[in-house]
A = this chain, B = another copy of it.
């Protein structure tokens, strides 16, 4: 008849809503599974099923003996590295993945949202945005130019000093300062001839082929929070993608 959703799915949705609201800051554990089971009036196995889904979606991590946590994207060096390598896909042609060094080139705000960025971010054209430009280095050589577009409404008060002075990754900053946990991204890649400014920054001959990446980053609830354009020099590096 009605086909109501399974109980574990209802609980999953309730937890996801709480997570989206930042109800559980990273570093402090969620209520224990028994506690949640009592709160939802269900068996512990049902809670576990709901949490399993959130763990699979990288929204939560479990630690035996300690509790269940929102992943800390910038906790220690190891956590920062995991985040880095999960979202940073440029590797040396021989397969080695190194941690890049980031050099900030520019930070401008507010800028009106360009027409072509409004749709993917769910914004009105002209909405106020921050724009940051970075140069990523591997082995002290520039390999990728990045242009980040961030809605001012989601990142209020962010400025050049706050952006450049962060500790850890950009997504760690999103989480710590604005309570935004990036869970997934969509990337579209194409080959194009390098524009003069890009070629100059990367030390490329004019119009040399570069890999252009357009990324949209999403937080819980598939809310788009960032649009990022990148141009990579793929003479000695490649974009690495593993599909499971």
Seen from chain A, the residues whose Cβ lies within 8 Å of a Cβ on chain B are 56-58, 86-87, 91, 93, 183-193, 209-212, 214, 232, 234, 237-244
Contacts and interface: CB of A to CB of B under 8 A. Distances in A.
Contacts of A86: 243
B186 A242 contact: yes
A186 B56 contact: no
A242 B239 CA distance: 14
Contacts of A183: 244
Contacts of A87: 243
9 contacts: A56-B56, A87-B243, A93-B188, A186-B240, A187-B240, A188-B241, A189-B239, A191-B192, A192-B234
Contacts of A57: 244
Tell which of A56, A189, A192, A240 has the most Cβ of chain B within 10 Å: A189
A206 to B, nearest CB: 13
Nearest to A207: B209
A161 to B, nearest CB: 30
A209 B191 contact: yes
Given A56-B56, A244-B57, A238 B188 contact: yes
